[in-house]
């Protein structure tokens, strides 16, 4: 195959959208529709709350959905960084970057939705509570990952640095998860334990609440997967175009 034919077939092949991805995107859109409907209409309101607090409690579904998606994203970035350091395959580095970007989006979603929920519940948008502080630090550490790696020109060096950074940055995830258990916190704990000083919790998750939560967790994980795959493909395309440009000029 001649060089120009190879280049043309590369251009024709890159950036294609498969049926599997189309199906994933369609499922995600549908799932998000169901999440909105279930969160706003289907789930029964918390019986121990009233007024603005009772309405605001519905933020719980998207707040936890974002938390689950962010956890999945940062876990994927950990897997990607370890896999890159073992295999040196740049696809893993791209997966790490795409996952970190998704994690930042959903991490920001947790922070913003949490702050809005805090206003009617804690009477303030923000407090330097251990859980809130560690969550914010986690997002900022991953924002720094993108800033630092973009400053490195050499592709291999960038991937190596990014993988080691993402590996170390993941330590903030268990710290954030445990922060409301280890330190004095007013942030409620949903799973695996309780927090006697928590404020704004609600009693017993009923059947409709549990179903809505399940749908939200699945929906947000699908949303992360769809965004991550889309961005991963784009990063791959960017690298291929960069390689092609170097060959042509």
Partner 1 sequence: MGFMAAAFVSVWLLVALYMVFIGLRQRRLTQEIRTLEELMHDRE
When the beta carbons of 205 and 244 are compared against partner 1, the nearer one is: 244
In the complex, the smallest distance separating the C-beta of residue 74 from partner 1, rounded to whole angstroms, is 16
Only one of the segments 141-149, 151-159, 193-201, 226-234 lies at the binding site for partner 1 (rule: CB under 8 A); that segment is 226-234
Asked whether position 127 contacts partner 1 by CB under 8 A, the answer is no
DSSP letter for each residue of 171-235: THHHHHHHHHHHS---S---SSS--TT--S--S---HHHHHHHHHHHHHHHHHHHHHHHHHHHHH
Binding to partner 1 (CB under 8 A) within 82-121 occurs at: 101, 105, 108-109, 112-113, 116-117, 119-120
CB 35 within 8 A of CB 220: yes
When the beta carbons of 160 and 200 are compared against partner 1, the nearer one is: 200
Asked whether position 26 contacts partner 1 by CB under 8 A, the answer is no
Only one of the segments 143-151, 182-190, 204-212, 230-238 lies at the binding site for partner 1 (rule: CB under 8 A); that segment is 230-238
State which H helix or E strand residue 166 sits in.
Answer: helix 155-169
Burial of 36 (0-12, 13-18, 19+ CB in 10 A): middle
The CA distance from 241 to 165, in Å, is 26
The CA distance from 59 to 56, in Å, is 6
The CA distance from 238 to 219, in Å, is 29
In the complex, the smallest distance separating the C-beta of residue 79 from partner 1, rounded to whole angstroms, is 21
Using the rule CB under 8 A, which residue among 13, 128, 174, 245 binds partner 1? 245
Report how far Cα 66 is from the mean position of its chain's Cα atoms.
7
How many residues line the site for partner 1 (CB under 8 A)? 38
Largest interatomic CA distance in the chain: 73
Only one of the segments 8-16, 82-90, 176-184, 204-212 lies at the binding site for partner 1 (rule: CB under 8 A); that segment is 8-16
Asked whether position 244 contacts partner 1 by CB under 8 A, the answer is yes
Residues at the contact surface with partner 1, assessed by CB under 8 A: 4, 7-8, 11, 14-15, 36, 39-40, 52, 55-56, 58-59, 62-63, 66, 101, 105, 108-109, 112-113, 116-117, 119-120, 223, 227, 230-231, 234, 237-238, 241, 244-245, 248
């Amino acid at each position: 195959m001649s060089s120009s034919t190879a280049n043309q077939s590369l251009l024709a092949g890159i950036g294609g959208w498969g049926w599997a991805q189309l199906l994933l995107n369609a499922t995600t859109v549908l799932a998000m529709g169901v999440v909105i409907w279930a969160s706003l209409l289907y789930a029964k309101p918390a019986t121990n709350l009233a007024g603005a607090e009772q309405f605001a409690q519905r933020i719980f579904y998207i707040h936890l959905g974002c938390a689950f998606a962010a956890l999945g994203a940062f876990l994927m970035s950990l897997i990607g960084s370890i896999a890159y350091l073992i295999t040196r395959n740049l696809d893993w580095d791209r997966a790490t970057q795409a996952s970190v970007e998704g994690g930042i989006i959903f991490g920001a979603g947790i922070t913003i939705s949490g702050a809005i929920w805090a206003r009617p519940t804690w009477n303030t948008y923000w407090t330097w509570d251990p859980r809130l502080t560690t969550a914010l630090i986690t997002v900022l550490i991953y924002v720094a990952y993108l800033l630092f790696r973009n400053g490195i020109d050499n592709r291999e060096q960038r991937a190596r640095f990014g993988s080691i950074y993402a590996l170390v940055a993941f330590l903030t995830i268990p710290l954030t998860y445990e922060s409301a258990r280890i330190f004095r916190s007013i942030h409620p704990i949903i799973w695996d334990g309780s927090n006697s000083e928590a404020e704004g919790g609600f009693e017993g998750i009923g059947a409709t609440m549990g179903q809505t939560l399940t749908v939200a967790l699945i929906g947000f994980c699908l949303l992360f997967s769809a965004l991550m795959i889309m961005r991963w493909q784009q990063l791959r395309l960017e690298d291929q175009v960069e390689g092609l440009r170097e060959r042509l000029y």
